[in-house]
Amino acid sequence: MIFRQLFDQTSSTYSYLLASRRGGEALIIDPVLEKVDRYLQLVAELDLKLVKAVDTHIHADHITGLGALRDRTHCITVMGENAKVDVVSMRVTEGDKLTIEGLALDVLYTPGHTDDSYSFLTNDRVFTGDTLLIRGTGRTDFQNGSARAQYESLFGKLLKLPEDTLVFPAHDYKGDTVSTIGEEKRCNPRLQVKSVDEYVDLMSKLKLANPKMMDVAVPANMRQGLAQDEIARKGWAVMPAQAFALVGKPNVALIDLRERPEREKHGVIPSSLHAPYPDLQENIRPGGMLHELATATGKRIVFYCAFGERSAMAVQAAQDAGIDSACHIHGGLDAWRKANGPLAR
């Protein structure tokens, strides 16, 4: 496995780049906006293809690199279901798997620091965001934090992992880089409590100043969505209510860009074809499946995904590849469902 721990000095944030092999797909956890150039340089140096950028929660101390990485690499953005961000490409929740080529991370919902905090677990390591820090835990006094919920996330979930599981947090202010679950159980002063009430009491006495960046970072981090309006202005968007009429039309090919588990979980638009976003470039180039479908049959290509982000990027790419009928369903399956569009399983 390729594994890199990257550090932003200004906010003391750790970001993590993961891939299963040189030349393969990569994902990054908790990227910082100011470091995006560095990440992309490293991705190029290691001959990787960045396909997913993930935030463990809405950060208050730095601006996320999610949007910039999406704009520059066309990777997809991922956050938890509860994250109060306007739009990301994919939302995950407890029990889901976050996958790239050769790698699968289990998604754990670990609220407490915020109500949108998630942790990500691979075989031997867990990315704990600000839920569990090295010899500390994330503060619980803003962003709908709850010391009670955090106690459950810690004692009910993270501390139940095998003791030798490596702990990689989103921050460290002392210079530590990694710990283990066993080490934190024994040595983390916040975890030496006898009860949830004792933990709540401990957390209530911290009296911390708000992060310097908070008033800027939180609102910025809540607006990550790709400007789908730009695609609509070009006439390449179909509003869900208008898209209902396209189902079953012989001259239309509805193309689902989502991953298989998303299709199974949320359903699909009837009569649509599956062509996952990671295969897009291959599918739209001359000779590719979608390029042939559009040119040989004259079918209009209508992309959709979960929230309209992947499909908006796909429309632009398909148009660039000469598929001039390509458009997408604005707002994705989420908007489709809210407009009471029909779904098949």
Residue 31 or 332 with smaller CB distance to Fe ion: 31
- Residue with token string 């499909």: 311
Coil, strand or helix at 75 = coil
CB of 330 to Fe ion, least distance (A): 32
For residue 173, count CB atoms less than 10 angstroms from its CB and return exposed for 0-12, middle for 13-18, buried for 19 or more.
exposed
Q: What are the tokens at 321?
A: 């590849």
Residue 16: closest CA among 133, 136, 176, 125: 125
120 within 8 A of 108, measured Cβ to Cβ? yes
105-134 residues in contact with Fe ion (CB under 5 A) are 130
Q: Which is nearer to Fe ion, 130 or 256 (CB)?
A: 130
Q: Contacts with Fe ion: how many residues (CB under 5 A)?
A: 2
Judged by beta carbon, residue 140 or residue 316, the one nearer Fe ion is 140
Q: Which stretch binds Fe ion (CB under 5 A): 55-63, 73-81, 282-290, 301-309?
A: 55-63
Q: Give 25's strand partners.
A: 49
Q: How far is the CB of 277 from Fe ion (least distance, A)?
A: 29
- Report in angstroms how near the CB of residue 60 gets to Fe ion at its nearest: 6
Q: Which residues pair with 302 in a beta bridge?
A: 254, 327
CB of 5 to Fe ion, least distance (A): 17
C-alpha distances (whole Å) from 308 to each of 31, 65, 133 are 22, 20, 35
How many other CB atoms are found less than 10 A from the CB of residue 189? Answer: 10
Q: How far is the CB of 56 from Fe ion (least distance, A)?
A: 8
Q: Using an 8 Å Cβ cutoff, are 4 and 28 in contact?
A: no
Q: Beta strand pairing status for 125-129 and 166-169?
A: parallel
- Of residues 59 and 125, the one with the C-beta less far from Fe ion: 59
Write down the residue that tokens 């009837």 correspond to. Answer: 270
Q: Closest CB to Fe ion among 112 and 240?
A: 112
CB of 232 to Fe ion, least distance (A): 34
**Does residue 30 belong to the site contacting Fe ion (CB under 5 A)?**
no
Stretch of residues binding Fe ion (CB under 5 A), selected from 54-62, 99-107, 221-229, 267-275: 54-62
| CA count, 13 A, side-chain hemisphere, 278 | 13
CB 42 → Fe ion: shortest distance, Å? 24
Among residues 212 and 265, whose Cβ is nearest to Fe ion? 212
> Would you say 59 or 74 has its CB closer to Fe ion?
59
Q: Which residues bind Fe ion (CB under 5 A)?
A: 59, 130
